[in-house]
Amino acid sequence: MLETRNLTIRFGGHVAVDHVSCAFAPGTLTAIVGPNGAGKTTYFNLISGQLPASEGQVLLDDMDITALPAPLRTRRGLGRAFQLTQLFPNLSVLENVRLAVQARHGGGLNWWQVWRDRKDWLEEARELVAGVRLLDKQAATAASLPHGDQRKLEVAVLMALDPRVYMFDEPTAGMSVDEVPVVLDLIRALKARRDRTILLVEHKMDVVRELADRIIVLHHGALVADGEPAAVIASDVVQQAYLGQAPTAGEEEAA
């Protein structure tokens, strides 16, 4: 179980994440939504350790990991897609995924001959590369890929690491229309396993509505709604703070 307690960060006088307390259970996909600047990415950064909390805690299986740097949180099972640093730019698509498979099996990230000979790991890597539709580019270096392909490769690397907590920050942003379903299918398959905690920051409400078991809403850094998707989307707080800001008929007349 991943949990944040009163998690807060201030930038000068600005409170970007404001005492957010929330628990995320395995087998649940939680979408984090909110207007631009609401604090979603900053909340992710606090959970994954990219930013230090001003106040509050991050707990993983009841262990306080607030003081741990990002790599140690990763080692404990927090996995975040879309940190380009995860990729080795000069290695091929297949090698990037193979190294992640190797890391998961405890082989570390050293490029030793002995690990290269593990045909089963190579096969697993190839299946993951096929899953993101990059087999035809398996020999290309990560650096040479167009943006959408790099993001798909990041998903494959994350799947290869198979963390207990998956964090996706706008997974389909910058992807072409034919790439989007590939990534959504993978998230769907992951969700169907029902054994992983999945956090998803996503602006596209149709995606959120379809994938999320639960939605939390951040607004000005604070948690303002939390619950079952249909109810949260219909709630006044979301309609006003996020979705429409559509004035009611009465307000239109008054304006």
Ligand X SMILES: Nc1ncnc2c1ncn2[C@@H]1O[C@H](COP(=O)(O)OP(=O)(O)OP(=O)(O)O)[C@@H](O)[C@H]1O
Residues that bind ligand X (CB under 6 A): 11, 16, 34, 36-42
Q: How far is the CB of 58 from ligand X (least distance, A)?
A: 16
Closer residue to ligand X in complex, CB, 102/172: 172
Instruction: Tell me how far apart the alpha carbons of residues 51 and 70 are, in angstroms, rounded to a whole number.
Output: 9
Q: How far is the CB of 187 from ligand X (least distance, A)?
A: 19
Q: Do the Cβ atoms of 47 and 224 come closer than 8 Å?
A: no
Q: How far is the CB of 169 from ligand X (least distance, A)?
A: 8
Closer residue to ligand X in complex, CB, 49/77: 49
Q: How far is CA 84 from CA 113, 122, 142, 156, 230, in A?
A: 26, 22, 10, 13, 34
Please report the beta strands in 37-108, taking only residues with DSSP state E, as ranges in sequence order: 55-60, 63-64, 78-80
Q: Do the Cβ atoms of 33 and 203 come closer than 8 Å?
A: yes
Closer residue to ligand X in complex, CB, 124/170: 170
CA torsion 206-217-34-80 (nearest 10°) is -80
Closer residue to ligand X in complex, CB, 129/241: 241
Q: How far is the CB of 207 from ligand X (least distance, A)?
A: 14
Closer residue to ligand X in complex, CB, 38/101: 38
Q: How far is the CB of 41 from ligand X (least distance, A)?
A: 3
Q: Do the Cβ atoms of 137 and 145 come closer than 8 Å?
A: yes
| Amino acid letter, 82 | F
